[in-house]
Amino acid sequence: MSNLVKTGISGLDGMLYGGIPEGNQVVLAGGPGSGKTLLSFEYLYRNARAGATSVFFALEEEPERVLDNARVAFKDFDDIDALIKRKTLVIDGKDPATVLHGGSSGGGSQYEFGKVLSEIESLIVSTKAKRIVIDSLSVLEMLIAEPAVYRRSMLSLAGNLRHLGVTSLLTAEMATPERSKLTFQTEFFVFDGIIVMYERGEEEEKRLLGMEVIKMRGAKHSFITTPYEITSEGINVVSTQDI
Ligand SMILES: Nc1ncnc2c1ncn2[C@@H]1O[C@H](COP(=O)(O)OP(=O)(O)OP(=O)(O)O)[C@@H](O)[C@H]1O
Ligand SMILES: [Mg+2]
């Protein structure tokens, strides 16, 4: 059995019976504002603290904004700057406007997709990253109009990340935040794992959020939808299977 990489997210490692098999690429899908960016940031923060070089590649928001939002949400993470200074935690990215408008190269969006991928790969190599987050696949999808080409591109991304040996979280926007209406893009099935974050409905004034592991190659995992909350100490998945 392969090594398990702890996500470090309270309760999630319990749902995964220890963590994500090393080298797996996991899609983190969820509705708008479900906490995809914050959860994937926390995954890198926890892994950086444990000594694994961790790279966040932001495509939806500027890297500085990701960092600012994480600082505000996770007030108790007081060593973010120290980790960044040590280069154990690297927050990088590419301006979405440049990506989506083909930059000044005029090479078209598929060309731009290739450029983004090779930029991510170079960053993994130059930083010797062990963990990576790409936030999000949905921006990359916008670059490629043809479904067959998008599917091939996702296959090549999965293959390249596997080759580089990183354990990754790739965020993806779901069309609906509701479990009952959940459908998956077939493209996601080329990846090793899928975790979803969605709304379980409203209870009085409170928004109820739930997390579920849909699949995780090479590992046993919980199939139970488990509530989670975003707290200043990090994301807390209220799992009964903590180990
Ligand atoms: N301090 C906080 N305490 C509790 N919840 C917070 C806090 N800060 C942010 N949130 C919640 O986190 C959500 C934003 O999280 P995040 O940016 O990770 O979501 P996302 O799924 O990446 O969203 P998007 O689809 O816009 O990319 C907010 O909508 C809010 O509900
Ligand atoms: Mg986000």
The tens-digit pLDDT sequence of the chain (243 residues) is 679 999 999 999 999 999 999 999 999 999 889 999 999 999 999 999 999 999 999 999 999 999 999 999 999 999 999 999 999 999 999 987 777 776 555 556 778 888 999 999 999 999 999 999 999 999 988 888 788 888 888 999 999 999 999 999 999 998 776 777 777 777 788 999 999 998 876 666 677 899 999 999 999 999 999 999 999 999 999 966 544
Which residues does ligand 1 sit against, CB inside 6 Å? Answer: 30, 32-38, 60, 73, 173, 230
**Exposed, middle or buried: residue 188 (CB in 10 Å: 0-12, 13-18, 19+)?**
middle
Residue whose C-alpha is closest to residue 191's, from 237, 134, 149: 134
Contact predicate 154/187, CB 8 Å: yes
Q: What does the CA dihedral 223, 190, 89, 11 come to, rounded to 10 degrees?
A: 0
pTM (2 d.p.) = 0.94
CB atoms under 10 Å from CB of 160, counted, come to 16
Interval between CA 159 and ligand 2 midpoint (Å): 24
The preferred substitution site among 9, 27, 28, 38 for testing ligand 1, maximizing ligand atoms within 8 Å of CB, is 38
Please tell me the predicted confidence (pLDDT) of residue 243: 45
Gap from CA of 1 to ligand 2 centroid (Å): 32
Q: Enter the tokens of residue 82.
A: 């120290």
Closest residue to atom 2 of ligand 1, CA basis: 73
Tell the residue number behind the tokens 């154990």, with chain if given. 88
- Measured in Å, residue 181 CA sits from the centre of ligand 2 at 21
Ligand 1 atom closest to the Cα of residue 207 is 31
Distance of CA 26 to the CA centre of its chain: 7
Distance from the alpha carbon of residue 35 to the mean position of ligand 1, in angstroms: 5
Question: What CATH number has the domain spanning 4-237?
Answer: 3.40.50.300
Mutate to test the pocket of ligand 1, among 37, 71, 76 (most ligand atoms within 8 A of CB): 37
Taking a 5 Å cut-off on Cβ, the residues next to ion ligand 2 are: 36-37
Cβ contact 22:5 at 8 Å? yes
pLDDT the model gives residue 239 = 66
Query: Where are the chain's structural domains?
Result: 4-237
* 90 contacts 77 by C-beta, under 8 angstroms: no
